[in-house]
């Protein structure tokens, strides 16, 4: 009869099972970090790969066209298209984007030169930038009834990432010394190197890990609130143009609307501090113009609805209307993506995203190496014990 496994060996066996089961989580976290890093600079990658999205100032005195001039240029070149919205880039080297639809129902986006109004290229609505963000954010799992399970799966990583940050600061005493006396030993083997790299990158990325983990956890809360139909927004329901406000034309044609330049001028006059960066055209005779842009607080957008016939501001969701809670919650997404301060902020986010990815990779290598070695040691001990047990059984069976 074989000798039962000792309590110590049984504990080691369960720990190895736990270690092997944790490896897929490490891989999943690594993929999420890498795709997130790509998503931050995905638009810049498209800019490098596709000349059609680029826009350069022809000379120092050249000024970008107004929204009205851009709309007129599109209608002149492609009169059959219905323009749904126009969006100006935050960075001047990008082309302006227009969402359009054809009479047959097809929708896509146009790259418009902001200085000449010429159509430079066509882009599908689901381009490389949208693909990388969808892959990172919800693993391309469709939203069929509320938030997809892919969203929940990714956002759940915010919790262990936050816990790992806290426990790492507790485990590594006087971690702040890494700022003043960093140590990265490159001549003492791979295990020592990756261990030093893991600790050093973690120390220098404390602020970034905190931002990503907290905002990622908020995405989990956001999905739960939405799926349970709980709203914390102070924005009211969308407004529509009253029937009596719609002008009646004798010929039965669509009533005339105010031009885009008039709308942006009204917005600048009635909503001080609003920098219009996108404008949505009315879908029908009872819809408003929708305008939006950033204000003094770069992490949040302000929006307003303007009557297309009278120019009256029918509704506005301004910074002054937001609650303190909304200032916090609406800041989460731009803080997570680095999409609030131009190219340099994106590059900083991408750099630390790469550092975080390498830190996860180093942790994966350290963890997997320890797991493989511990499994091999346990297997060798088991193989040594078996012959001893067999010899004992034989000797006990002798007369």
| Structure confidence by residue, pLDDT tens digits, 339-350 | 998 899 999 999
* Residue ranges making up the domain that contains 282: 44-128+232-323
> Is 50 exceeded by the pLDDT of residue 337?
yes
Tell me the CA end-to-end span of the chain in Å, nearest whole number. Answer: 17
> Is residue 257 situated within a structural domain?
yes
> Is residue 170 situated within a structural domain?
no
333 or 295, which is more confident? 333
> Is residue 318 situated within a structural domain?
yes
> In the chain, helix, strand, coil percent, each to 5?
55, 10, 35
- 171: helix, strand or coil: helix
Give residue 186's pLDDT: 82
At 23-61, the pLDDT tens digits run 778 889 899 999 999 999 999 999 999 999 999 888 888
DSSP state of 70: H
> Is 60 exceeded by the pLDDT of residue 18?
no
Residue 216 pLDDT class (50, 70, 90 cuts): very high
% of the chain at pLDDT higher than 90: 55
Measured CA to CA, the distance from residue 25 to residue 14 in angstroms comes to 17
Q: Tell whether the torsion through CA atoms of 310, 316, 318 and 320 is positive or negative.
A: positive
- Spatial neighbors of 122 by CB under 8 A, at least 6 apart, are 52, 108, 109, 110, 111
Give residue 399's pLDDT: 47
> Is 60 exceeded by the pLDDT of residue 2?
no
> Is residue 305 situated within a structural domain?
yes
Measured CA to CA, the distance from residue 151 to residue 131 in angstroms comes to 14
398 or 59, which is more confident? 59
> Is residue 2 situated within a structural domain?
no
Token pair, residue 133, equals 């963000």
Phi, psi angle pair for 177, to nearest 5°: -65, -25
Q: Which helix (H) or strand (E) holds 82?
A: strand 82-87
19 or 203, which is more confident? 203
Average pLDDT, the chain: 86
Judging by DSSP bridges, how do beta strands 96-101 and 289-294 pair with one another? unpaired
At 25-35, the pLDDT tens digits run 888 989 999 99
At 101-125, the pLDDT tens digits run 998 888 999 999 999 999 999 998 8
Average pLDDT over residues 259-282: 91
What count of other Cβ atoms lies within 10 Å of the Cβ of residue 308?
A: 25
- 111: helix, strand or coil: strand
Residue 397 pLDDT class (50, 70, 90 cuts): low
Give residue 394's pLDDT: 46
14 or 258, which is more confident? 258
The total of structural domains in the chain comes to 1
Burial of 176 (0-12, 13-18, 19+ CB in 10 A): exposed
Token pair, residue 164, equals 């790992």
What count of other Cβ atoms lies within 10 Å of the Cβ of residue 260?
A: 22
């Amino acid at each position: 009869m074989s000798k039962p496994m000792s309590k110590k060996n049984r504990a080691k066996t369960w720990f190895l099972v736990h270690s092997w089961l944790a490896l897929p989580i490490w891989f999943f976290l690594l993929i999420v970090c890498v795709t997130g890093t790509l998503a931050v600079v995905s638009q810049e990658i498209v800019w490098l790969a596709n000349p059609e999205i680029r826009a350069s100032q022809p000379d120092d005195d050249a000024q970008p066209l107004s929204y009205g001039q851009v709309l007129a240029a599109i209608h002149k070149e492609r009169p059959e298209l219905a323009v749904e919205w126009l969006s100006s880039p935050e960075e001047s080297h990008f082309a302006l984007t227009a969402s359009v639809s054809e009479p047959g129902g097809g929708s896509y986006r146009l790259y418009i030169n902001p200085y000449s109004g010429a159509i430079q290229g066509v882009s599908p609505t689901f381009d490389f930038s949208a693909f990388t963000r969808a892959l990172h954010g919800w693993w391309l799992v469709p939203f069929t009834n509320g938030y997809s399970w892919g969203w929940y799966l990714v956002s759940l990583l915010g919790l262990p990432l936050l816990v790992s940050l806290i426990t790492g600061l507790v485990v590594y005493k006087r971690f702040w010394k890494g700022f003043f006396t960093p140590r990265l030993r490159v001549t003492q083997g791979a295990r020592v190197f990756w261990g030093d790299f893991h600790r050093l990158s973690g120390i220098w990325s404390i602020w970034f890990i905190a931002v990503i983990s907290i905002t990622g956890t908020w995405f989990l809360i956001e999905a739960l609130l939405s799926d349970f139909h709980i709203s914390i927004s102070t924005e009211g329901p969308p407004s529509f143009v009253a029937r009596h406000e719609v002008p009646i034309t004798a010929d039965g044609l669509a009533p005339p609307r105010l031009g885009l330049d008039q709308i942006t001028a009204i917005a600048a006059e009635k909503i001080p501090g609003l920098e219009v960066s996108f404008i949505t055209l009315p879908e029908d005779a009872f819809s408003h113009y929708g305008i939006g842009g950033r204000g003094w607080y770069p992490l949040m957008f302000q929006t307003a609805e303007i009557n297309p016939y009278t120019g009256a501001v029918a509704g506005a969701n301004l910074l002054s209307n937001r609650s303190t809670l909304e200032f916090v919650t609406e800041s989460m997404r731009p803080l997570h993506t680095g999409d609030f301060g131009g190219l340099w902020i994106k590059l900083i986010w991408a750099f630390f995203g790469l550092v975080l990815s390498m830190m996860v990779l180093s942790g994966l290598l350290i963890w997997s190496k320890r797991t493989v070695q511990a499994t091999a040691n346990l297997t060798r001990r088991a193989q040594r014990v078996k012959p001893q047990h067999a010899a004992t059984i034989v000797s006990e069976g002798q007369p």
